[in-house]
Amino acid sequence: MSNKFFSNRFNFIFIISLAFVISLSLDYNQRVIEAGLILANQIEFPSPLSPFYLYIKNSWTLLNQFAAGLFILNFSQNFISFLFIFISTLMFGLGIYFTSKAICQNYLLSLFITIYVLLLGKNFGDTDYPTLFYSQETYSMISLSLSTLIFGLIFNSNLKLASFLSIILVAIHPLIGIWVLGINFLVFLINLNKIELKQLIASIFSGFLLIILSFILFYSNADLQYSYQINDYQDYINFWDGHRSQNEIFHYEYIIKTFLLIAVLISIFKFNPTKYVKMGSQIILLSILISLPIYLLFKNFYNLTPAFLTETSIPSRFLIQHSIVGWPILISGALLILKRLNIFYEKKYSLIIVSVLTIHLLMQHNSIMAKFNVPFSSFKNSTEQKSAVPTFFDKHNGYVLTNNSLSRLVLHDLKKPILVDIGQLDFLPYHKYLADEVKEIIQDVYKVDFKKPPILNAPYLDDITIHNNFSKISLDEWKQISEKFNITFIVLPEEVKMMLTPYLNFNNLNVYFSSDELTLENFQKIANI
């Protein structure tokens, strides 16, 4: 098939279609769902307000606002999850395609590189912070996909849209947004004589206007607090945090790939005369040259690393910004270099690469099918559980206490409030004022010493620990916990042995009523069953 067949129009349609199909087959119930439900007032939180509620209300991101708006318009959870996955996959795909095409100027190869990366989730790997390609972690996934698209747009000469999205990224993920916007700004300054600033004014103004409106909306609805115990927060950093604490793991493979990428980027800068490809190369290079020393400082001289890097920004996070575009740049750059050196004919070499990529995809067909064809998906589980949810949950207000794995069922399906998402404690560095409350819940409810977590530097409690500790709590202790924290129901897997009597079983889950006298008569009266 002729390379001419693979025009921009054909490739765009193909990438959009592929992103759509992939997104339909991925069943990652997005983290943004619970935030959207809360901001849309579909989950009622009683007094006293829980750390989980305050974390959501006091977190500024356009993603939460967008999800809340979709819920207000009566879109379903399944559709919203699909939409976020589709947007992320499409941005990954377009970012990869734009980058590759701009470097090698080969439509066929660029499309096949995009297909290859999307189907395999191919990337450079992880640092202390993971590269989240397809994930339920909405915020990291969307921010990485958007930065990938921004890089691709710059390579492809679309500075207007790249400038607009760079500003919008600040409202989506402030830390990553500031990083990408700052890098782009420095490169734009370097190339000031090559950029028509007048053409960018409208994009820049529109972007800043949008994030200002977003921040005003956030601030008007926030419930900000600023007092916290620094000792409690420091205990979290020392014993619970997994991204900012000192560890001995050094990601040699990722660093080697990064140095190889630097060499190829320098070659691209030399061999490709296009100013936008040079600007794109400069942006990736500058991002690496700033983030790599930060990473090395963090890993080798932890005590010398500034506090704002170790506690808030996660030093390893910035180094993964090139993780997705890494392989596309290496492959496309190799074709460009060989073409400029007249080692191979372009068509012959591009066909060789396409053939190799295709063969490798065919060899990986089992893993691809497993990734994109989950026979019993989380969405199917969620739907089945929701259909069997007893109506009495709607008849009594108060917090629902559960384990790690069931927190999202309580939020998404039961639409009942929780004290804290015990599987996601890594919000604390951004909400230090909640450290003392989280400590109190972990110690008084979950019976875990805050200075002695079951897994060191893991920001969560595992189900086994929760089940073992809950099984040892007496009836009188449960009554005290219930009164102190306004807990109404306890929902746990039926295999967990409790000193309480379950009064209801659904979907292999036991429901315990803990806010009143634990008698069947009272339970039936209040639950109206």
DSSP 444-492: HTS---TTS-SSTT-SS--HHHHHHHHTT--HHHHHHHHHHHTEEEEEE
Instruction: Give the whole-angstrom CA distance, residue 168 versus residue 210.
Output: 7
Q: Cα separation of 447 and 440, whole Å? A: 10
Count of C-beta atoms within a 10 Å radius of residue 219: 11
Contact of 92 with 324, CB cutoff 8 Å: yes
DSSP secondary structure code for residue 390 in this structure: -
Do residues 323 and 117 lie in contact, with contact meaning Cβ atoms separated by under 8 Å? Answer: no
Q: Please state, in angstroms and as integers, the Cα–Cα distance from residue 241 to each residue in 230, 253, 315, 394, following that order.
A: 15, 24, 13, 36
Q: What is the DSSP letter of 226?
A: -
Report pTM: 0.89
Q: What angle do CA 372, 86, 418 make, to 5 degrees?
A: 90
The per-residue pLDDT for 34 is 95
pLDDT (0 to 100) of residue 22: 93
Using alpha carbons, list the distances in angstroms from residue 423 to 58, 102, 232, 419, 461.
Answer: 19, 42, 19, 12, 6
The residues facing 218 across adjacent strands are none
Instruction: Provide the pLDDT for residue 376.
Output: 39
Q: Per-domain residue ranges for the chain?
A: 3-30+76-372, 379-527
Tokens at 359, concatenated: 């063969």
User: Residues with Cβ < 8 Å from 327, sequence gap 6 or more?
Assistant: 113, 117, 122, 123, 124
Are the C-beta atoms of residues 481 and 444 closer than 8 Å to each other?
Answer: yes
Q: How far from each other are the two terminal CA atoms of the chain, in whole angstroms? A: 67
Query: If the chain, 529 residues long, is cut into consecutive pieces of 10 residues, what is the mean pLDDT of each piece?
Result: 64 94 90 96 90 94 97 95 96 97 91 93 87 91 97 95 97 94 93 83 94 96 76 84 69 93 91 88 96 86 69 78 95 85 65 78 76 51 45 72 91 91 89 91 95 90 94 90 90 91 83 60 46
| Residue 147 · residue 180 · CB < 8 Å | yes
Model pLDDT, residue 380: 39
Q: How far apart are CA 176 and CA 430, in angstroms?
A: 14
From the CB of residue 335, how many other CB atoms can be counted at a distance below 10 Å? 23
Q: Tally the residues of the chain.
A: 529
The predicted pLDDT at position 382 comes to 42
d(CA 461, CA 55): 18
The Cα–Cα gap between 106 and 350 comes to 8
Torsions phi, psi for 431 (to 5 deg): -140, 65
